[in-house]
Amino acid sequence: MKLESVELRRLNVPLKSAFRTSFSSVNLHQVLWVHAITDVGEGWAECGANERPDYSSEFHDGAATVLKEFLLPDLFALGNDLSAEAVAPTLHWAKGHRMAKAAIETALLDAQLRAADQSLANYLGATKDRVPAGVSVGIMDSLDELMRFVEGYLAEGYLRIKLKIEPGWDYEPVRLVRKTFGDDLLLQVDANTAYTRDDFDLLKRLDEFNLLLIEQPINEEDVLGHAKLADYIETPVCLDESIISADIARDAIELGAAEIINIKPSRVGGYLESKKIHDIAVASDVAVWCGGMLETGIGRAANLALAAMPGFTLPGDTSASSRYFAVDTTEPFVLVDGHISVPTGPGIGVDPIMEIVDGYTVSKEWINKP
Ligand code: OSB
Ligand code: MG
């Protein structure tokens, strides 16, 4: 395969309701797409970075710049030696920028698999044709509002609820959801690093609610702190932001800091690195689940393929398109009996609907092979 040109496309996609985490509140989802044109066909990927460096250090302008100035030139230079598998080794010299690397690797993997008439799910070794869906519920203005949203999601059939928490929005919302919806509800929380080592007693109070897990309670660089917390509380500690590579996943597991892992392909540099983390976790008896970055259909499709691998034993944040969007950029993913079907078509298995995509597009830039 040979890379001929790449389109960087920015989209503004309105959310159905504001999504608030401990680090931001968004109404409009700003998205960066990487569209690769090769000699064997084209491929698409959604970059996991946000517009601002608020979830990780990456952000749209940074990802676009590193792609244009450093990553794409090396991939153009490979000529006919390019393959999706060659992307990570070729770009290894460039430190970090995993979301930018993941985006180009995924677009090329999509092109390569479409040409080979193979689905991403099949390529990754998926064993399921549908995956159980959880939903991530943002921080609300009131407990009443939270109850309305959770009740609505459960009525739609979601099989697991994840509550975003932060200091001041933790014990009470969790208590009320547990009390209202019962002991059988699969319930977990995500702090997005909002707590510190001084908050362990506060977090221990959540033990009484029999949560599936607590996700990334403290600073992502404090892996040892998560191991100490995991010793101190009953609730299993799950890492998200901290796990940026298979090496870190292996270390975090060995340290006792990652009793469960949220795998987000964008955060770790792509689907190939995600597969490595999956394999390490399975070998260590650590459960994994697929996280998300509010992906539109292009990104959601690829996440579903990953979530269909055998080690993904907990419901992911792989919700239906309607969780976030009135109109998705592809055929919408729908919830049926609490599950979402894994795409079976070649590559990521879905196509952008260009009339809709063009309506969301705010800018396009083409980078051509020199
Ligand atoms: O921490 O998992 C997270 C969204 C944006 C950034 C970080 C996170 C999230 C979510 C939503 O929790 C996941 C999704 O539904 O895509
Ligand atoms: Mg998280």
| Mean pLDDT within 172-201 | 98
Name the CATH code of domain 3-117+351-368 (choices 2.160.10.10, 3.30.390.10, 3.10.180.10, 1.25.40.10): 3.30.390.10
Model pLDDT, residue 357: 98
| Mean pLDDT within 169-187 | 98
Model pLDDT, residue 243: 98
| Mean pLDDT within 101-124 | 98
Q: Which of 139, 240, 317 to mutate to test the pocket of ligand 1 (most atoms within 8 A of CB)?
A: 317
> What confidence category does residue 293 fall into, taking pLDDT thresholds of 50, 70 and 90?
very high
> What confidence category does residue 248 fall into, taking pLDDT thresholds of 50, 70 and 90?
very high
Name the CATH code of domain 121-341 (choices 3.40.50.2000, 3.30.70.260, 3.20.20.120, 3.30.1330.20): 3.20.20.120
Residue 204 annotated among the catalytic residues of the structure: no
Ligand 1 pocket list (CB less than 6 A): 55, 136, 190, 192, 240, 291-294, 317, 319
Taking ligand 2, which is a single-atom ion, which protein residues have CB atoms under 5 Å away? Answer: 190, 215, 240
Reduced to 3 DSSP states, what percent helix, strand and coil does the chain have, rounded to the nearest 5? 40, 25, 35
Q: What is the mean pLDDT of the chain?
A: 98
Distance CA 279, CA 310 (A): 10
Using alpha carbons only, what angle is made at residue 289 by residues 288 and 290, rounded to the nearest 5 degrees? 135
Model pLDDT, residue 338: 98
pLDDT, tens only, 42-94: 999 999 999 999 999 999 999 999 999 999 999 999 999 999 999 999 999 99
| Mean pLDDT within 206-221 | 98
Distance CA 298, CA 347 (A): 11
pLDDT, tens only, 330-360: 999 999 999 999 999 999 999 999 999 999 9
Domain locations in the chain as residue ranges: 3-117+351-368, 121-341
Please indicate whether the domains covering 3-117+351-368 and 121-341 agree at the CATH topology level: no
User: 5 alpha carbon to ligand 2 midpoint, in Å?
Assistant: 33
| Mean pLDDT within 184-197 | 98
Task: Evaluate the CA torsion angle 20, 21, 23, 27 in order and state its sign.
Answer: negative
Distance CA 323, CA 325 (A): 6
Q: Which of 2, 16, 162, 264 is catalytic?
A: 264
User: 94 alpha carbon to ligand 2 midpoint, in Å?
Assistant: 26
Q: Which of 164, 179, 204, 275 is catalytic?
A: 164
| Mean pLDDT within 15-20 | 97
User: 99 alpha carbon to ligand 2 midpoint, in Å?
Assistant: 15
Find out whether 1 and 41 touch, Cβ atoms under 8 Å.
no
| Mean pLDDT within 288-292 | 98
Find out whether 105 and 1 touch, Cβ atoms under 8 Å.
no
Strands (E), 39-82: 41-47
User: 126 alpha carbon to ligand 1 midpoint, in Å?
Assistant: 23
Residue 264 annotated among the catalytic residues of the structure: yes
